[in-house]
């Protein structure tokens, strides 16, 4: 095999056909919403509600995943966020034409999700 390539040089580069899966419909496309639905709204506050301690955010990581959020049609929006194995709630409130951001403490996800659910039910704010 001296002087010969271990492959057919005339057929190089080979064309490889990679099979692709047919496009799958997104799960969101299958969901049906009632007319006029445009996002999650936090319920009005109940008479006895838990006060959430909001703090100024400290940059801890370069990536944060927003798991859920409330509708942007309301003046104040909330986001349930995760990063680095922890979770927290972010509050965005307008002030003089820009959003002011506050966060809850970063905690284990189950605790943050419980607080998120309380916020949506109007039992925390």
In a domain, 15, yes or no: no
Domain-embedded: residue 32: no
Residue 96 lies in a domain: yes
User: In 3D, which of 107, 118, 2 has the Cα closest to residue 50?
Assistant: 118
Domain count, the chain: 1
The residue ranges of DSSP E strands in the chain, in sequence order, are: 65-69, 77-83, 86-95, 98-103
Q: Which ranges of 1-125 does DSSP label H, i.e. alpha helix? A: 27-30, 109-121
Structural domain that includes position 75: 39-121
Per-residue pLDDT of the chain (125 residues; tens, 9 = 90+): 555 555 555 555 555 454 555 555 555 555 565 676 678 999 999 999 999 999 999 989 999 999 999 998 889 999 999 999 999 999 999 988 888 999 999 999 999 999 999 999 999 99
pLDDT at residue 16, as a whole number:
47
């Amino acid at each position: 095999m001296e002087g010969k390539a271990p492959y057919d040089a005339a057929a190089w580069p080979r064309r490889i056909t990679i099979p692709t899966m047919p496009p799958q419909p997104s799960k969101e496309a299958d969901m049906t919403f009632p007319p006029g639905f445009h996002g999650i709204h936090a319920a009005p506050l109940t008479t006895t509600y838990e006060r959430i301690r909001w703090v100024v955010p400290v940059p801890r990581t370069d990536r944060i995943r927003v798991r859920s959020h409330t509708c942007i049609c309301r003046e104040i929006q909330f986001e349930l966020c995760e990063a680095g194995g922890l979770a927290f709630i972010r509050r965005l409130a307008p002030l003089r034409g820009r959003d002011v951001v506050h966060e809850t403490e970063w905690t284990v996800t189950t605790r943050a999700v419980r607080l998120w659910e309380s916020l949506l039910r109007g039992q925390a704010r």
